[in-house]
Structure formats: C-alpha cells, structure tokens
Chain A
Amino acid sequence: MASSAIASSSSPFINKVQKDVGLSTFSSQPSFSLHTAKKRNSRKITCVMAPQQTERKPATSGSVKTAMTMTEKILARASEKPMLSPGENVWVNVDVLMTHDVCGPGTFGIFKREFGQNAKVWDREKIVIIPDHYIFTTDDRANRNVDICRDFAMEQNIKYFYDIKDLGNFKANPDYKGVCHVALAQEGHCRPGEVLLGTDSHTCTAGAFGQFATGIGNTDAGFVLGAGKLLLKVPPTLRFVMDGEMPDYLLAKDLILQIIGEISVSGATYKAMEFVGSTVESLTMEERMTLCNMVVEAGGKNGVVPADSTTYKYLEDKTSTPYEAVYSDDQARFLSEYRFDVSKLEPLVAKPHSPDNRALARECKDVKIDRVYIGSCTGGKTEDFLAAAKVFLASGKKVKVPTFLVPATQKVWMDVYSLPVPGSGGKTCSQIFEEAGCDTPASPSCGACLGGPKDTYARLNEPQASFTIFV
C-alpha cells in the first residue's frame, strides 16, 4: 500500500522539484518499484522455500525489476550486477581508457612501478593515447612527454595512438588528431552504454553518446591500464528537462551556463547530470557534447544524453563495434529535477573568474574586450566555428581586437577550410574569418585553454585590463 501511494507522487514537475530523498537514504530504503514488477517476471517464481533473512530487499531475489537511471544501468552492466543504487562502490569493467601527453607519462610510470617493468596492458585495443595539450612548443619537457607516449604505445603495441612527429606542419602527421575529447568522438571511440574513463576532467564530454564517461587521475588510470577495471561510486542523478524550441541565437553553451548559474560550480559534485527533453533531442551531437563537456564545471561526475537516431547516425561510419544503448526507467529515482523552457532563454556569458558567474550577454554590452579566443574542447568544434562565421557574416564588420582561432582537431581544421557557410554564397569559415581580420586558424591542439608553456599560441603572458573570451 505504501508503494501505491508513492506511485501517485510522480506528478508533473513544475520548475524544480526536490524529491525527498537524501544521498544517504538511497541504499538503505527498499526500492519504490516493488509493485512495478511485470507479470512476466512474477510468472517465473515457483513455490520455493526462501531461506530466512533479516531483511529481504526486493532486488536480491533477482526476479524483480528495479527502476534505475541510465547511469546506474550502465554501471550495473559494467560491474555485472543486476541492479545498483547510488552510493554503492563497485568494480567496473572499463571499455575505453583515454590518456594524453600531460597525464600519460605519469600514468605509464605508475603502471610500470606497480605492475612491473615488463607488464603488459590489459587490452591494447581499449586504450587510446591522444597527444593534444602541449604540442606546438619548444619546451623540452613537453616534447619529451610526447616521446614517452610514443615509446609506450610502441612497446605495448597500443592500437589507437594519434602520433605527431613533425611539429612544423601538423598536416604532415596524418595520424595526429588534436583535442582528445573531440577526437574520441570523431574516431568512433564514444559508444552508447559503454564506460569510458580518461585522465582529463572533460572526459565527461563523451556522455553525449549515452555512455558513462568521467575523468580520473594518473594513479587510477595506471590501475586501469593493468587491471581493466576501477572502483567507482554510483552517483545519484540530477535530471535536467529542457523543452521548447531553441532560438537560433542560442547554442548549447548557453544551456549549460544557464544550468551552472542555477546550481553553482559545486551543485552537481559527485552526481550524474542527465539531459532530456525536446530541446536536447533536437541538438546535434556536437551540441550535446558541449552540454556534457561542462558537467565538470558544476562539479558533476558524469553527464548523459540518451542515445537516439541522431546518435546512431553520427556513429554509422565511425565504429563497427557493437554497442547497446540503455535508458532511464520511468520509475527511476532522481535526486532532483530541473525544468527549463529554452524558448525563453537568452544568450549568456560566464564572467571572470568562475563558470557560475553568469550574466546575460546584453548586460555585458559595455564591457571592453581585449582579445577573443575561439577554441578548446568546449568551443573549438566545427559547429562552433560555423556559428562564429555566421556572426561575422551578419555583422559584415572587421574585428577590433586580436581574434585567435584554434580548431580542436585536424578534422575541424579541414571543415573550417572546406565547408561552405550557409547563406554566405559558398564561402568557407576560413574565408570569412580572413575577411573579418582574424588570426589565421592555428594548428589543432588544446592551445591556450590550459595555459601551458610560455610559447603556447595565444597564451596570455601579460595581465590584461579586461578579459579573454573562450567561446
């Protein structure tokens, strides 16, 4: 009877609904979904004497389907358990481990120290090594770190190592990709239902594909290299429902800044963020990646967008690995739910020095800008450059401050130079940028986003009066 009362509580949410469930109560309370067991399941039960138990949770019988969120389902499958609740610590099998030139060398050092000098990685086809952070620099240590990645990839016969040897001309390196999170997607390493770990906070970007993806440290990654699994805590899920037609002056970056402004830079700490609703369904894969990319800026463990036909279409020519998408159950329990009418939102900016220092773009119309930087894993994708080109096209004016362009990957760079911008009469982004007086698009890499060595392109080496915009 208790559960029927609860079942009726799933009334429509208005704006934000805080469900009366704390993190600690998750594992201790019996599941609400006792009565949601399907008849076909109960038919399996025959007359058996059950052993005496002090407390017999419905889930332990294995015949009752317990409602789970998609994050819980992915982790349940990866840990070979029938069900999981937030707060549980489980050993999860890893489908893909990604590392790059900044954390790779440390990860390999730990792997060798702990598993032995002659140890072999758990699966040479499940490791992806992407040099991308400090590439086009004369810094000896940075160059050495790429060499360490190459030596390890050779020694271990790593299948996916996107090498760069000729720093003078990135195009002479057909294997070189650029920013790891964008490259992972473009090379088909992001697949629904899988677990992807990476030594980078923005690994959560891959959640756009309906998978569990999160950032880990060198020590954890060194462990995964040898063992192929990692102890993870199952996060509770915050759900963000975004409905309404998205005005053409908005991008996914506005949506996620809206959310972070709402919940703060620690509002999702330890939690999963699930993005659903008609607006999210209408977003392209690149836009979904922007949404999930900044989950970590709210402290989140992972972000997820349910896979759909957009996802499958993107993956069509990128992977032949079979995958299986999972979705949140109707009765799944969310820590809280937020609703947004996207048709009413306005373009936003995050002011210095925090991603939750949100302001409406029009409130900042009198702020002087010293330089503009378009790039990074969040804002350096093909569609980001197309959006910028459209703005230049519409204004017809020239830039007044230095404007730096860093395509995330070699593929994006090619797009910038070859894709016609709609409504431009066949011009490419690069032509439009040149006419507007922007700097020539740079070699693809993380560029100045992370700072890096002093000679990093577009790095701010002197304090400036106002700020740089990372679009």
Chain B
Amino acid sequence: MAASSSIRTYIPIPPFLSPRNPQSSLSSSLKLTSPHFSPSSKPLISSPLSPALPLRAATTSSSTPSPHTPTTTFHGLCYVVGDNIDTDQIIPAEYLTLVPSNPDEYKKLGSYALIGLPAAEYPTRFIAPDETTSKYSILIAGDNFGCGSSREHAPVALGAAGVVAVVAESYARIFFRNSVATGEVYPLESEVRVCEACRTGDVVTIELGLGRLINHTTGKDYGLKPIGDAGPVIEAGGIFAYARKAGMIPSLAA
C-alpha cells in the first residue's frame, strides 16, 4: 500500500484538524464531506477531505510537515486544451437538467465532461467512448478557462469524471469560484503557457506545496502560482467546511 500510495495522491492534513487526535478529527472530517462523492468513482482525490483513509494514514505516520505547507501531490496523465474553453464545451447546456447534488446524476454529469470539445480539434476524446470516467486526472489549459455560462455543473462534471486539478494560464472568475466552493478540482494557475508545452497523454505530477508542475514525459518542470486566499477554503474541503471551522455556521446536527 505504501508503494502504491507513493505514486498516487497524498492527502494533506488541514491545519485545523489537529494531528494530536487523528481519530476524532477524522470522524469530524468525514461528517463535513459531501456524502454523495463516491470515493470509488475517483481513484485520485478531488478534495483533501475525501475519505481515502489509508492514504491519509500514510501521511500522518510520516514526519509531520509544517501545517501551512500542503504536501499534496497529484500524479497522472494530462489532457491538454487551448484558450477560452467555455462551460458549454465542458458540459453542454442540454445536460444541465442533471442535478449535481443527486448522486446518480452526479456520475452522469461526469460521463459527459468535455463532450462539447469539437471533435476535429480534439480527436482524442477526454472520455473514451464506452467509459464513464476519464483516464486523465489532470487538465491543462490556456487562457480564460471556464468562461461563459456560470453553471457549477462544469467543475462538478470534471470532478465527477476524475479530474483532480486543472492547470491553466488563467480562469474565468465564476469557474474558479465554483471549483473552490465545491472543492471538486484545484484550479491552479501556471506561470508560463504550459498548454503548448504539454501534450495529451503526458505523465505529469503536481507538487502543490512546491508550486511545481513536472512533465515526466518531456522531463520539463514548470512553476505554478500560489493559490492564495482560496487555498485554505479548498484545504478545508469547500466553503461549508471552511465556514464551520471559522464558527460562522453551526456544525451539522448528527
């Protein structure tokens, strides 16, 4: 398990979950997570609080990192898109009757992720014809990713399809916000234009704490901009968990 987890995802310990009492903090963290996110549908985590327990245990047992340096690492194949990918390409409007908070419809949304990309430009499809999730866990994009209609279905569809992080040059505001609020995907910004330096199918690693994107296929390494104020919210597991932590809203009654 240790070997497999080393090439997979480490789950950071959110600073507010004291490592002193891992049992109780774990149960409270489980209570905060969205019950509809089925862990089996996502081999790589979507948010730090997803209940991938063995991996979390693996991190806890290693030397304790500084609480403010997330040790999160994402590793997988990348799918590369260009500039101004709008939400209608991420999840076309005809699928918006699907309600993301309904578990079955959540999965269905994932199966349509990026189906709106024109086939001529993207002959390799994000989701293979007879699959419901994608083998690509990291999405690499150009400028203004997620522009257009504000549908939250967009980051949700990506998350449901198995994407853990997007690395783009820049984001449309509402897409960025929805990614943070839902904790579905990490919306990371690259320092340089990586969408022209990476190709679909390249093996990449994101070192969140170090702010690096490493492309193992080409052997190149790129800087990522700090996630800033959004970091603590994603780390907490979305806006609800963050607000509970800050005492703004009460904890859920059991």
The chain A residues found within 8 Å of chain B, CB to CB, are: 89, 91, 102-103, 105-106, 108-110, 113-116, 133-134, 139, 141-142, 144-145, 148, 199-201, 203, 215-220, 223, 226-227, 229, 231, 233, 265-266, 269-270, 296, 299, 301, 354, 450-454
Contacts and interface: CB of A to CB of B under 8 A. Distances in A.
A2 to B, nearest CB: 29
Which 5 residue pairs are nearest across A and B when measured between Cβ atoms? A109-B101, A217-B152, A201-B150, A217-B178, A451-B93
A142 B248 contact: no
B172 interface: yes
Interface string B150-191: 111101000000000000001111100110011000000000
Contacts of B243: 223, 227
A218 B174 contact: no
**Interface bin, chain B:** 35 or more
B144 A266 contact: yes
A269 B149 contact: no
Contacts of A199: 150, 152
Contacts of A200: 149-150
Contacts, number: 128
B99 A301 contact: no
Contacts of B147: 265-266, 299
A261 to B, nearest CB: 15
B174 A216 contact: yes
Given A110-B101, A116-B253, A200-B150, A301 B173 contact: yes
Nearest to B176: A270
B172 A299 contact: yes
B239 interface: yes
A216 B150 contact: yes
A201 to B, nearest CB: 4
Interface in B110-166: 143-144, 147-153, 155
B93 A452 contact: yes
Q: Which of B97, B143, B177, B249 has the most CB of A within 10 A?
A: B97
A215 B148 CA distance: 11
B54 interface: no
A215 B97 contact: no
A215 B100 CA distance: 18
Contacts of A113: 34-36, 101
B178 A266 contact: no
Contact of A454 (B94, B96, B153, B249): B94
14 contacts: A105-B99, A105-B101, A108-B101, A109-B101, A109-B102, A144-B97, A199-B150, A218-B101, A218-B152, A219-B182, A219-B240, A220-B178, A220-B181, A223-B239
Contacts of A216: 150, 174, 177
A18 B27 CA distance: 52
A468 B18 CA distance: 58
Contact of A220 (B98, B172, B239, B253): B239
A145 B143 CA distance: 34
B84 interface: yes
B124 to A, nearest CB: 22
A116 B36 CA distance: 15
B239 A231 contact: yes
B148 to A, nearest CB: 7
B94 A223 contact: no
B173 A269 contact: yes
Nearest to B178: A217
A429 to B, nearest CB: 28
Interface in B75-113: 84, 88, 92-94, 96-102
A265 B84 contact: yes
A66 B94 CA distance: 48
A233 B93 contact: no
Contacts of A133: 96
